[in-house]
A and B are shown apart, each in its own frame.
Chain A
Amino acid sequence: MAVEPVKIKRGFQETESLKMLKESAVNVNLCYQCRKCSSGCPVADLTARDSVSDRTSAGPLDEKTGAGPDSVPEALRSGMARDSVPNSVPEALRSGMDLTPIQIIRAVRLGLEDLALNSKTIWLCTGCETCATRCPQDIDIAKVNSILRIMAYKRGIKPKLPNVAAFDRQFMANMKFFGRVYEMGLVNQLKLATRNFMQDMDLAGPMIFKGKIGFFPNFSGFLTMKKFLSRFKKARAGKN
């Protein structure tokens, strides 16, 4: 996707994200733009890998030419042009990330924090660490995304993918309250927060039937968590 041209201020800007990254020993300035991070990212372009996986999908054959998805031209075509996206990819995700991982790194380096903080990318990152693993300069790109998410929360920036932010919030609330995550409670909290009551309702029946769902919370970690959180609050509030 084309990115609007942006103005860059002259001189070095010590932005908050650069400061936070420095504290976490992540140096984005080592990036020499090889793009391995973006090409390895499973969600950067959700259609890119179809050239690989389509060799297995039994799509219908072309009536005239008899060519199927296994044929070379088709395999080469998908993944190279975004307008060849198969219908099976959900509308909202056809483009995957709006900024690729390398563009996030560029944005942070150039002091264009807001561009990164307002991207879909930081919420779509699964934290799989493929980018960080393949980076020849040892930059933990997934961690950059996490740190940007922490900043977005701090600054009250409206998340581009609100469901992901809702998950984080409800997960933390659940964990802090029960001590151990009460999964069924978490699912219900999320439904209330996002109003997506029908999401995955097709899974509820089979999962209950198979006895996969624990109906009751486990309070064995309740006291440890309570003590932990009171010390945590003090440590957080303390100097440094």
Chain B
Amino acid sequence: MPEAIAYYPGCSLHSTAKEYDESLRAVFTKLGVELKEPEGWICCGASSAHSVDELLAAALPAQNLQLIEDMGAKEVAIPCAACFLRFKTSVYDMKQSKHLEGKVAETIGKKYGDTVTIRHPVEILEKMFANGAKNQIKKDLGKIKLACYYGCMLTRPPKVTQFDDCEDPQTMDRLLKQLGAETLVWSYKTDCCGASLALSEPDVVVKLSRDILADARACGAEAIVTACQLCQANLDTRQGQIAKKFNENFNLPILYFSQLVGLALGLEPGKLGFDKHLVDPKPLLRKYGLLL
């Protein structure tokens, strides 16, 4: 029987970020781990609930954690960085305030037992590869030059997320180096892409994303690797608008770490969603012999 961990994909991974969901599932299945979604999970409230109602912002993730606890899971993988931070913040805030904890208990019907460890799949995979999954690598990534982009919500605030070094995280770098890639030292790895302002003040996102792309290119990146679907969407889909506004054509593919792990494990590239990106990554992957 394969090992199983709980999996909370979040709303985006069922729509605009399908390729992130599909590549993750393919990778974990290949490594013999089943990802189990809790039945009837609901939106965690990112990106708005915390600016609208504090109780709602804490209770929505707690409700989902309760569903996961009821499944009997000890650990949940949350690939969406925004959901990841909302879940961690909910647990953190309830520990800070007895009052909030009580109100949340009222809202979700019981006191959340706090028995579930919240982890991002990049952490889980990095550990798995450090502990032996390395011998399942079928294809070396051949020194492809990658800028690992962590963004905001995995790393900050560090007292809440407890994820690596907040100014110079290395988890994704370590993972991709094990697969044979060359990861770069660059300045914008934890800078903000503008997040959900994409839908309300897109000019901000265009500017911030452009700065990130510019630094990655200056440092010699052939692609940026992300662990968040909002970062991926902003950096990938805005390159046309950036070209118009700033007269700079980056044409830099933006990949998910899970897609590259999938390639290294020898998975069928058709299952990893390389067709879904606006900046086509296939020419680059062909150059490295990773695609036919």
Binding site for B on A (CB under 8 A): 23-25, 42-43, 46, 49, 52-53, 55-58, 88-90, 92-93, 124, 126-130, 132-133, 138, 140, 145-147, 149-150, 153, 161, 163-164, 166-168, 171-172, 175, 179-184, 186-187, 190, 194, 199-200, 202-203, 206-207, 210-214, 218, 220-221, 223-225, 228, 231-232, 234-236, 238, 240
Contact = CB atoms under 8 A, between A and B. Distances in A.
B241 to A, nearest CB: 7
Contact of B63 (A126, A164, A228): A228
A167 B152 contact: no
A146 B50 CA distance: 7
B207 A179 contact: no
Given A138-B159, A203-B240, 9 more contacts: A53-B215, A57-B214, A124-B201, A126-B204, A127-B195, A150-B52, A164-B201, A168-B51, A202-B240
Interface string B44-75: 01011111111110011001000100000000
A55 B217 CA distance: 11
B97 A89 contact: no
A235 B103 contact: yes
Nearest to B55: A236
Contacts of B67: 224
A133 B158 contact: yes
B201 A161 contact: yes
A107 B107 CA distance: 34
**CB-based closest 6 A-B pairs:** A214-B15, A128-B192, A129-B156, A56-B218, A181-B11, A128-B152
B105 to A, nearest CB: 9
Given A57-B246, A149-B51, A224-B42, A90 B192 contact: no
Contacts of B237: 203, 206-207
Given A56-B214, A207-B278, A46 B207 contact: yes
Interface in B169-228: 187, 191-192, 194-197, 199-204, 206-208, 210-211, 214-215, 217-218
Given A25-B96, A128-B192, A218-B14, A172 B55 contact: no
B202 A199 contact: yes
Interface residues of B, number: 77
Contact of A167 (B39, B55, B199, B211): B199
Contacts of A240: 99, 102-103
B85 to A, nearest CB: 8
B103 A150 contact: no
B157 interface: yes
B41 interface: yes
B139 to A, nearest CB: 25
Contacts of A220: 39-41
B12 interface: yes
Contacts of A213: 15-16
B277 interface: yes
Contacts of B39: 220
B180 to A, nearest CB: 27
Interface in B72-116: 93, 96-97, 99, 102-103, 106-109
A181 B80 CA distance: 14
Given A46-B207, A210-B278, A133 B157 contact: yes
B166 interface: yes
Contacts of B123: none
Contacts of A46: 204, 207
B207 A93 contact: yes
B164 interface: no
A153 B52 contact: yes
Contact of B15 (A128, A183, A202, A206): A183
A231 B53 CA distance: 15
29 contacts: A25-B96, A42-B192, A42-B208, A46-B204, A52-B211, A90-B207, A92-B203, A124-B197, A124-B204, A126-B195, A128-B153, A128-B195, A130-B156, A140-B157, A145-B51, A146-B50, A150-B54, A161-B200, A168-B48, A175-B48, A175-B49, A183-B16, A186-B199, A210-B278, A211-B275, A218-B11, A224-B63, A225-B42, A228-B108
A190 B204 CA distance: 17
Given A56-B215, A90-B203, A214 B99 contact: no
A115 B241 CA distance: 34
Contacts of A149: 51-52
